[in-house]
Amino acid sequence: MNQLLFLGVGTIAAAVRRALPTLPASGTTRGAPDQRFATIAPIAAADSAAIRTAARGSSVVVSYPPDASVDSAWSTLVAGAASIVYLSSTAVYAEDAGVVTETSAASPSSERGVARLAAEQRWRNAGASVLRLPAFYGVSTGLHVSLARGTFRMPGRGDNVVSRVHEDDAARFVCAALRAPPGSLLLAGDEQPAPVAEVVQFVCALFDLPAPASSHGEQIAPSLRATRSVDSRGSRAVYGVQLAYPTYREGYLAIHGALRNLPGSY
């Protein structure tokens, strides 16, 4: 890889930038550049010529929400890229899919999942590989944040099993996808999908947070209502992805350690 172009600069794009700090990097923004652009050269999202120029010979990471018109326009602009990866979601699988692998059929049960699957196809037509991500977490995002804010609600008893991945490990999957043949499909996820209640109990004890209230129905995010376990062993084996945080325990312990000495933290 010679240079990076981020179409959308969010949590995972920032993690990829940390993983590849020496490469020149640019990224799109719809407003004034913030701290995320300290090491990423900003490009106005409306500047088609600049996007086309930045994409030429670059490794392109697509990480914004599905938008049919933008997907169609930008997938054309990056025709000169060296490689492209589209960051998708496990929402393309049914909420009750159970264990999913790279060979599992996509069968979205939500509008969000339908939109993701359509966006995947647009980007695959442009030569992109697709990386499907479960819920991701890191220092500034995850259960420890929503529990501390009091916004998290347990989905019923919390006995549904879901997958997750630390943002730094997600970046490792992205780097693998950028090296993969065009049109490849990769699945990201740690080694231990677990019941929501189990992870919540661990995080509450670690960060000394009160247990959340239970709720049902539309008050619960679709990703938390689902029962989907990502088996990422195939992608990890084929592309040599080594996880720094093989389970949520290592991941949240590392986050706790990183936050412990920061002013105003837990």
Q: What are the tens digits of pLDDT across the range 48-60?
A: 999 999 999 999 9
Q: Are strands 161-162 and 194-195 parallel, antiparallel or unpaired?
A: antiparallel
Q: What is the reported pLDDT for 16? A: 97
Q: What is the reported pLDDT for 253? A: 97
Domain chopping of the chain, boundaries? 4-136+165-189+229-256
What pTM did the predictor assign? 0.94
Q: What is the reported pLDDT for 217? A: 64
Q: What are the tens digits of pLDDT across the range 116-169?
A: 999 999 999 999 999 999 999 999 999 999 999 999 989 889 999 999 999 999
Q: What is the reported pLDDT for 264? A: 56
Q: 144 Cβ partners below 8 Å, 6+ apart?
A: 137, 203, 206, 207, 209, 252, 255, 256, 266
The yes-or-no verdict on residue 43 having pLDDT over 70 is yes
Query: Residue-wise over 160-181: b if at least 16 C-beta within 10 A, else e?
Result: bbbbbbbbbbbbbbbbbbbebe
Q: What are the tens digits of pLDDT across the range 202-260?
A: 999 999 999 998 877 666 776 677 899 999 999 999 999 999 999 999 999 999 999 98
Which comes out higher in pLDDT, residue 217 or 111?
111
Architecture of the domain defined by 4-136+165-189+229-256: 3-Layer(aba) Sandwich (3.40)
Q: What are the tens digits of pLDDT across the range 164-196?
A: 999 999 999 999 999 999 999 999 999 999 999
Q: What are the tens digits of pLDDT across the range 90-106?
A: 999 998 999 999 999 99
Provide the mean pLDDT of the chain.
Answer: 93
Q: What is the reported pLDDT for 262? A: 67
The yes-or-no verdict on residue 41 having pLDDT over 70 is yes
Q: What is the reported pLDDT for 265? A: 55
Tokens 């420890």: give the residue: 144
